[in-house]
Amino acid sequence: MENNKIAVGLDIGTTKIVAMIGRKNEYGKIEVVGIGKAKSLGVKRGVVSNITQTIQSIQQAVDEAQGVSGLKIDEVVVGIAGQHIRSLHHSDYITRINADEVIDELDIENLVNQVHKLVMLPGEEIIHVLPQDFKVDSQGEIKEPIGMYGGRLEANFHVVVGQVSSIRNIGRCVKSAGLNLKDITLEPLASASAVLSQEEKEAGVALIDIGGGTTDLAIFKDGIIRHTAVIPFGGNVITDDIKEGCSIIEKQAELLKIKFGSAWPGENKETEIVSIPGLRGREPKEITLKNLSKIIHARVQEIIEHVYLEIKNYGHETSKGKLIAGIVLTGGGSQLKHLRQLVEYITGMDARIGYPNEHLAGDSDETLSSPAFATAVGLLMEGLEKGDRDQEVAEEALAEENQEQPVEEPKSKKKSFFEKFAEGLKDFLDNAE
């Protein structure tokens, strides 16, 4: 019985691939029983660019997690990000045949299905359709239209779109690594569930997840996700800039960034110097920390300004869209010294670093609450939630068989639009074999 209470999150990132196995303890907190990490070599900017290498890295991470936990992994929840993700706003309506009956789940489903028929650019597919607010006849700003009377049901939607081929490639890698795809979810949403509190989502908050290859943004307000964006650069471009600017190799640039890097050039004195060993018999290189932080500052500033532009596009400057809880920074890139101060300076908004420890059991390993694992923890949570939902549905089906009376009613909503998408993708992959 124990084993089906376990879920696995698989974060296929640009710098690392993480497999995280966990279960809920009696307090509803998450206990991580095994974690495996592998260097990600086949992913560029969040998109799989080398299938064979990605499969190897997934297997390596999964083997390590299995070794630590002593459990066998067969299905995983995977996140997708990457530069091909974009989002748009769309409103749609349906005219109900019978206005004398109250609006129910089915009407909302019909409306959502209608949005799914939107014509996208070639090669694109709708991943998420997220209703923002509804309008019944001419009454607007309704959060929950179920149970109301009305002939015309209208809604504003936040639609997330991605490239079919990129999503299929991820599915392909997971399957070829000998795993089943239990669910697939948008990475900014996963990170958000790991590091944001419900109060922040209500008050209005922007989550910025700075990964190696991409920077993901998710904006919440009134408890609903309002905007998502994936900006196609992250920590790796900072490393590249250091490599170019100081003429050193990548490994050294990465170490310099982590050990001495800062996003704020003001604090380093001209005299602070780091010496880097030269390559094979060459003279060592001397690099001033001031120069290092200037290079980092320039690139980080560009990333933040990109993100801030998205926050403005969402409508942060309007009184209705104000994000009271400000910004939460997470992901490996958020560990850069003085990044928080720079973000506050550029955006004029409050910022904090988001650690995914809110939902983890109290005795969890220190390393797990590093912002670098936010996405993996979020995917694991998603998997556990889905397990709970599946179990509820199964239990009800059982109860229904025993009682022969319809108990199923309220559960039809449990299947999110994304789950339907995931099921479609699974069918597709199974048929493509």
Tokens standing for residue 258: 């982590």
Q: 304 lies in a domain?
A: no
pLDDT, tens digit, for every residue of 375-427? 999 999 999 988 888 888 888 888 877 875 544 444 444 455 556 666 666 66
Give the pLDDT of residue 32: 93
Give the pLDDT of residue 281: 82
Contact 350, 324 (CB under 8 A): no
- Between 76-85, 87-96, 105-114, 196-205, the lowest mean confidence (pLDDT) is in 76-85
Q: 13 lies in a domain?
A: no
The band of 36, judged by pLDDT with boundaries at 50, 70 and 90, is very high
CATH number (domain holding residue 269) = 3.30.420.40
Closest listed residue to residue 204, CA positions, set 109, 353, 319, 73: 319
Q: 164 lies in a domain?
A: no
Q: 266 lies in a domain?
A: yes
Mean pLDDT of the chain: 88
The whole domain housing 243 covers: 236-295
Contact 153, 96 (CB under 8 A): yes
Closest listed residue to residue 158, CA positions, set 224, 107, 232: 224
Amino acid occupying residue 173: C
**Tokens 């196995």 map to which residue?**
21
Q: 404 lies in a domain?
A: no
Q: Is the dihedral of CA 307, 311, 314, 315 positive or negative?
A: negative
Tokens standing for residue 252: 């050294």
The band of 271, judged by pLDDT with boundaries at 50, 70 and 90, is confident
Q: 286 lies in a domain?
A: yes
Structural domain count, the chain:
1
What gap in Å lies between CA 173 and CA 169, rounded to an integer?
Answer: 6
Q: 111 lies in a domain?
A: no
Q: What is the arithmetic mean of pLDDT over 28-52?
A: 92
Q: 281 lies in a domain?
A: yes
The beta strand positions in 266-334, using DSSP E, are: 273-276, 285-288, 327-330
Q: What is the arithmetic mean of pLDDT over 246-255?
A: 92
What gap in Å lies between CA 156 and CA 221, rounded to an integer?
Answer: 15
Question: What number of CA atoms fall less than 13 Å from residue 238's CA on the CB side?
Answer: 33
Q: Name the residue with higher pLDDT: 240 or 99.
A: 240
pTM: 0.86
Give the pLDDT of residue 127: 84
**pLDDT over 70 at 250, yes or no:** yes
- Between 89-103, 190-204, 276-290, 393-407, the lowest mean confidence (pLDDT) is in 393-407
